[in-house]
């Protein structure tokens, strides 16, 4: 056999061997599992709190429509068309030129995010253990001052407590590894199909409880009543970064997942449903949190500590507070686990396809790197002294570089590729499943937005974020 022929056979083999999700519904749950994560339950509420409430929510929803969904569809196109990891996908679509670098940036961005993400997921896992052990159960009877110092102490232990944070982060990584090793259908599909509906059910329970509290109206006003005096360029930039982070776009996750979609998957429909359901989960998290915050006269803008300090404190004041707290942290653990699966899947397919290694080995290599570098993030200060780069610790640095630089840049590159460089008919063919779907006008609208509006907004925001305008 000639070499060329061998190559071709290898290729056919690989594509045939590549697993897919069994149905469009399974693809939806998996993709939603990627989107729903710590972003909804940890980031969204505190960013809404810090940026003035309702107006920020509105800007965020605009960002989801005008930027998030178009970029997601760009990635869906690239992923389902090539059925490859980001590096392989861009190499196939643009064999020469700067686009080759984009795939590598995607893989690097995935690592950066996982470094801090797995640390926070570790804290969540450890809180479940603490809640079951009863660490927060006596709080209700203490004065607010005593209770809050106890809660803060608990958080400091979770973050800085010697070996503990490393143990919990390790446990998160082992859990995710086992799911990834099981594969696309038996691992990712099976787990997201169970966890996503469960998560919805649980968050609705906590939300209903919150709505029966005296501060419900104030909480809802804060979340939904826009006060535009609070809107500035930082809020806009933050909303955009959040939309990217939330929808898992700008760094290859959606390229990888859509490579597992079946040929009859209606891509526009999937993107729309995922974005919609994800936003609903974020709003439900806000509905579960703000009424409680206002009922107890706490600050809505308490920053990242909202989830780990404020929530245990205020939930402990409710009847059956401990059970609610357990439900809340369980659903957060589900959300962060399914999101982590999608994040780690990026380096896993990259390693297995580009270096031609077995999937199990690729999982092992990826999680080992994450575990070792992750130690820097889990607790930089206690192991390495307070190392600061650009006045940020490693945790904030990884978050900043990935959310504010790599993801907007990656998103911009994807949108320019799919709306300006790729042949328009080809793009249309993929999004209409070979013209079998009657969605031509929707695609035209998408192409218009992707061509003119999305890149312009992204460019403005990106230049602003690096300080040029």
Positions that interact with ligand TRP (CB under 6 A): 34-35, 37-40, 113, 245-246, 248, 251, 253, 339, 342-343
The CA distance from 439 to 172, in Å, is 41
Q: Cα angle vertex 307, ends 301, 312, to 5°?
A: 110
CA distances from 182 to 86, 93, 188 (A): 22, 30, 8
Q: What is the dihedral of CA 56, 57, 63, 64, to 10 degrees?
A: 160
> Any long-range contacts for 381-390 (C-beta under 8 Å, 24+ apart)?
381/160, 382/160, 382/162
Whether the Cβ atoms of residue 275 and residue 132 lie closer than 8 Å to each other: no
The CA distance from 260 to 254, in Å, is 10
Q: Give min distance, CB of 249 to ligand TRP, in A.
A: 7
The CA distance from 433 to 439, in Å, is 10
Q: Give min distance, CB of 248 to ligand TRP, in A.
A: 3
The CA distance from 448 to 465, in Å, is 25
Q: Which is nearer to ligand TRP, 125 or 136 (CB)?
A: 125
Q: Which is nearer to ligand TRP, 265 or 403 (CB)?
A: 403
Whether the Cβ atoms of residue 87 and residue 104 lie closer than 8 Å to each other: yes
Q: Which is nearer to ligand TRP, 34 or 450 (CB)?
A: 34
Q: Which is nearer to ligand TRP, 38 or 362 (CB)?
A: 38
By CB neighbour count within 10 A (0-12 exposed, 13-18 middle, 19+ buried), where does 379 fall? buried
Q: Which contiguous run of DSSP H or E holds residue 404?
A: none
Q: Give min distance, CB of 38 to ligand TRP, in A.
A: 4
Whether the Cβ atoms of residue 359 and residue 165 lie closer than 8 Å to each other: no
Q: How many CB atoms lie within 10 A of CB 218?
A: 16
Q: Which is nearer to ligand TRP, 34 or 295 (CB)?
A: 34
Q: Give min distance, CB of 112 to ligand TRP, in A.
A: 10
Q: Give min distance, CB of 335 to ligand TRP, in A.
A: 7
Q: Give min distance, CB of 339 to ligand TRP, in A.
A: 4
Q: Which is nearer to ligand TRP, 113 or 417 (CB)?
A: 113
Q: Which is nearer to ligand TRP, 136 or 394 (CB)?
A: 394
Q: Give min distance, CB of 71 to ligand TRP, in A.
A: 11
Of 153, 122, 162, which Cα lies nearest the Cα of 135?
153
Residue 445: HSE in the Cβ half-sphere, 13 Å Cα cutoff: 8
Quick one: tokens of 351?
Answer: 């390693």
Q: Give min distance, CB of 188 to ligand TRP, in A.
A: 12
Q: Which residues contact 198 (CB under 8 A, 6 or more apart)?
A: 331, 334
Helix, strand or coil for residue 22? coil
Q: Which is nearer to ligand TRP, 180 or 443 (CB)?
A: 180
Q: Which is nearer to ligand TRP, 64 or 150 (CB)?
A: 64
Q: Give min distance, CB of 134 to ligand TRP, in A.
A: 29
The CA distance from 336 to 121, in Å, is 6
The CA distance from 332 to 37, in Å, is 7
Q: Which is nearer to ligand TRP, 339 or 458 (CB)?
A: 339
Q: Give min distance, CB of 411 to ligand TRP, in A.
A: 10
Chain centroid offset of residue 339 CA: 6
């Amino acid at each position: 056999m000639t070499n060329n022929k061998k190559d071709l056979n290898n290729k056919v083999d690989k594509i045939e061997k590549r697993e897919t999700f069994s149905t469009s519904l399974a693809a939806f749950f998996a993709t939603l599992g990627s989107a729903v994560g710590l972003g909804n339950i940890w980031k969204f509420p505190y960013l809404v709190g810090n940026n003035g409430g309702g107006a920020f929510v509105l800007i965020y929803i605009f960002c989801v429509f005008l930027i998030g969904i178009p970029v997601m569809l760009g990635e869906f196109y690239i992923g389902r068309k090539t059925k490859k990891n980001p590096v392989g996908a861009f190499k196939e679509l643009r064999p020469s030129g700067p686009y080759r670098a984009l795939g590598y940036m995607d893989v690097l961005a995935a690592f950066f995010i996982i470094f801090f993400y797995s640390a926070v997921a570790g804290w969540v896992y450890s809180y479940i253990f603490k809640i079951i052990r009863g660490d927060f159960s006596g709080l209700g009877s203490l004065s607010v001052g005593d209770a809050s110092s106890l809660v803060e102490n608990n958080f400091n232990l979770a973050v800085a407590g010697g070996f503990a944070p490393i143990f919990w982060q390790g446990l998160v990584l082992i859990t995710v590894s086992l799911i990834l090793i099981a594969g696309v259908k038996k691992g990712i599909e099976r787990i997201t199909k169970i966890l996503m509906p469960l998560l919805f059910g649980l968050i609705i329970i906590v939300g209903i409880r919150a709505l029966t509290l005296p501060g419900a109206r104030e909480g809802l006003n804060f979340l939904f009543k826009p006060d535009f005096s609070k809107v500035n360029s930082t809020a806009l930039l933050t909303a955009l970064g959040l939309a990217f982070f939330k929808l898992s776009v700008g760094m290859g996750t959606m390229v990888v997942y859509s490579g597992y979609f079946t040929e009859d998957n209606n891509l526009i429909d999937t993107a729309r449903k995922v974005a919609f359901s994800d936003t609903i989960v974020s709003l439900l998290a806000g509905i579960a949190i703000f009424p409680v915050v206002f009922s107890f006269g706490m600050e809505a803008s308490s920053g990242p500590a909202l989830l780990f300090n404020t929530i245990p404190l205020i939930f402990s004041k409710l009847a059956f507070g401990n059970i609610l707290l357990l439900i809340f942290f369980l659903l957060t653990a589900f959300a962060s686990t399914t999101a982590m699966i999608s994040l780690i899947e990026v380096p896993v397919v990259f390693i297995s396809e580009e270096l031609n290694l077995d999937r199990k080995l690729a999982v092992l290599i990826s999680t080992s790197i994450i575990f070792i570098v992750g130690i820097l993030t889990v607790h930089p200060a206690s192991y390495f002294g307070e190392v600061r780069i650009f006045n940020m610790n490693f945790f904030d640095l990884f978050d900043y570089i990935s959310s504010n630089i790599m993801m907007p840049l990656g998103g911009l590159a994807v949108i320019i590729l799919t709306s300006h460089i790729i042949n328009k008919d080809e793009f249309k063919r993929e999004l209409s499943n070979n013209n079998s779907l009657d969605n031509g006008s929707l695609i035209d609208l998408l192409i218009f937005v992707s061509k003119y509006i999305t890149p312009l907004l992204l460019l403005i925001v990106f230049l602003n974020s690096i300080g040029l305008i």
